[in-house]
């Protein structure tokens, strides 16, 4: 398929803007990129899609999300409102994840995948918890991902908060799922399990993980996805437990490793920042969630200046990563009282270029770029700029002009998932009805946990 007559944003080293650009897709990959007239002449036999001046850019990547959080929308929490993040964890998330069954796990994932297609997010790195439905939970999510046509990295959140048996089950689920994907790559390297799914090893946070559990985790993996110092309680309890700050402890165990994702990193000090840079871990920033939970503001500008690869996630908020980009910029400015903090160019560096580096850890071909040899994960947007659009001002157009609502069509792995806002792989009405039914059942089990 040749998509032509598009304003192509390549996000390559030159951040080119092709005013009348074209992209040739063959199979799951981009084969050629250039001017429309040239490529139409070169490939006259290819199926053609006239983009009619739409913007064409790589699909967005989300570096940290929680599909299961979809069932929290509108849910009543008994008693007075949680006063701080530890109360939010104990009264909302740690009870909700125990109320989920496997049907709910799959349905909540489907809801988020619909949202991702609609908002042009084609790759998602999920961090899952369902403490009373651990075995097979990653398979349930994987099934939903394959059905949707999107791309995802999955893991299970290991924690000691529900006892040693649950911790051991979480470890087994991570190991089993990773082995399943490895076997799929060996037996059929072109299957969706082999090409559109990847695994890492999930851990909750240092303050809910014993030394014994960390030792068991490191015996089975060399890359991890873990929450880090999202709230001071993580630092306080880790110091009390080990005499070390969170990042120091994770480095000591080998959890903070070159292919690991350290989510949040709100309450880390300068020494911990230096350690992260030294070991080469990725930091994932989720500004909307941090604001909602009132946990503070991560020193993103400082981390970027120090050379730490800071990525952008959403922590289970909507998969409109354009909204997350806007908030990332505004939060840094508001928190520091300085309009010079961060800036649209640095937000794009996080959301596009660093997220692409992170995705490359898990998938065979490049993502987040329009270039020959990259996966054909693309989105078309009906954004018609009212001022000149150039490589130099592109980041400011993305932050102050574009939103997920502009996504017209979504392509992943060369497959069209949505065209002219019509979903082609998922039945949104059926998914919505099923989710509403299962969410109500989940809420009943959740409410039963309160005295």
pLDDT higher than 90, residue 158: yes
Q: What pLDDT is recorded for position 314?
A: 98
pLDDT higher than 90, residue 14: no
The rounded distance, in Å, linking the Cα atoms of 135 and 105 is 12
Instruction: Report how far apart, in Å, the C-alpha atoms of 406 and of each of 22, 118, 275, 288, 379 are.
Output: 20, 9, 40, 20, 10
DSSP state of 378: E
> pLDDT tens, 30-76?
999 999 999 999 999 999 999 999 999 999 999 999 999 999 999 99
The rounded distance, in Å, linking the Cα atoms of 151 and 149 is 7
> pLDDT tens, 249-300?
999 999 999 999 999 999 999 999 999 999 999 999 999 999 999 999 999 9
pTM: 0.96
The rounded distance, in Å, linking the Cα atoms of 203 and 179 is 18
In order of their start, the domains of the chain are 2-59+367-421 (2.30.40.10), 60-362 (3.20.20.140)
DSSP state of 203: E
Mean pLDDT, the chain, integer: 97
pLDDT higher than 90, residue 441: yes
> How far is CA 335 from its chain centroid?
24
Q: Work out the average pLDDT over 202-219.
A: 97
Query: Dihedral sign, CA of 44, 47, 50, 56?
Result: negative
Do 315 and 286 touch, CB atoms closer than 8 A? yes
Largest CA distance in the chain: 71
**Rounded to the nearest 5°, which phi and psi values hold at 94?**
-75, -15
Length of the chain: 451
Strands 407-412, 378-381: pairing is: antiparallel
> pLDDT tens, 334-385?
999 999 999 999 999 999 999 999 999 999 999 999 999 999 999 999 999 9
pLDDT higher than 90, residue 13: no
Of 55, 51, 8, 58, residue with least CA distance to 33: 8
Cβ neighbours of 132 (radius 10 Å) = 12
Do 219 and 259 touch, CB atoms closer than 8 A? no
Of 328, 332, 333, residue with least CA distance to 352: 328
DSSP, residue by residue, 52-70: TT-EEEEPEEEEEE-GGGG
């Amino acid at each position: 398929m040749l998509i032509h007559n598009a304003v192509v944003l390549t996000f390559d080293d030159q951040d080119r803007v092709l005013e009348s650009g074209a992209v040739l897709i063959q199979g799951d990959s981009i084969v050629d990129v250039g001017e429309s007239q040239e490529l139409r002449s070169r490939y006259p036999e290819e199926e053609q899609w006239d983009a009619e001046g739409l913007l064409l850019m790589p699909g967005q990547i989300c570096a940290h999300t929680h599909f299961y959080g979809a069932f929290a929308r509108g849910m009543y929490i008994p008693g007075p409102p949680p006063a701080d993040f530890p109360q939010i964890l104990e009264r909302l998330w740690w009870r909700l994840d125990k109320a989920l069954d496997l049907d709910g796990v799959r349905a909540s994932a489907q809801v988020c995948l619909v949202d991702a297609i609609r908002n042009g997010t084609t790759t998602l790195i999920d961090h899952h918890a369902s403490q009373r439905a651990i075995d097979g939970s990653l398979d349930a999510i994987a099934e939903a991902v394959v059905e949707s046509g999107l791309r995802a990295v999955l893991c299970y959140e290991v924690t000691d908060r529900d006892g040693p048996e649950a911790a051991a089950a979480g470890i087994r689920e991570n190991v089993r799922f990773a082995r399943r994907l490895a076997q799929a790559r060996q037996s059929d390297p072109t299957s969706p399990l082999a090409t559109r799914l990847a695994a890492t090893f999930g851990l909750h946070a240092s303050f809910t993980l014993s030394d014994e559990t960390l030792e068991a985790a490191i015996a089975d993996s060399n890359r991890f996805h873990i929450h880090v110092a999202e709230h001071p309680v993580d630092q306080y309890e880790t110091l009390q437990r080990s005499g070390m700050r969170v990042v120091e402890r994770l480095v000591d165990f080998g959890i903070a490793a070159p292919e690991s994702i350290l989510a949040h990193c709100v309450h880390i000090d300068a020494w911990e920042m230096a350690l992260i840079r030294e070991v080469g871990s990725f930091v994932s920033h989720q500004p909307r969630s941090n604001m909602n939970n009132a946990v503070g503001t991560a020193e993103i500008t400082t981390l970027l200046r120090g050379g730490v690869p800071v990525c952008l996630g959403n922590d289970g908020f909507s998969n409109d990563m354009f909204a997350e980009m806007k908030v990332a910029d505004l939060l840094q400015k508001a928190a520091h009282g300085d309009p010079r903090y961060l800036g649209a160019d640095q937000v794009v560096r996080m959301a596009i270029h660093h997220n692409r580096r992170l995705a490359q850890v898990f998938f065979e071909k490049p993502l987040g770029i329009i270039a020959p040899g990259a996966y054909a994960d693309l989105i078309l947007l009906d954004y018609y700029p009212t001022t000149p659009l150039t490589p130099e001002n592109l980041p400011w157009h993305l932050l102050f002009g574009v939103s997920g609502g502009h996504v017209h069509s979504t392509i992943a792995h060369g497959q069209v998932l949505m065209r002219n806002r019509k979903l082609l792989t998922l039945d949104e009405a059926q998914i919505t009805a099923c989710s509403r039914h299962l969410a109500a059942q989940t809420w009943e089990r959740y409410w039963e946990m309160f005295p």
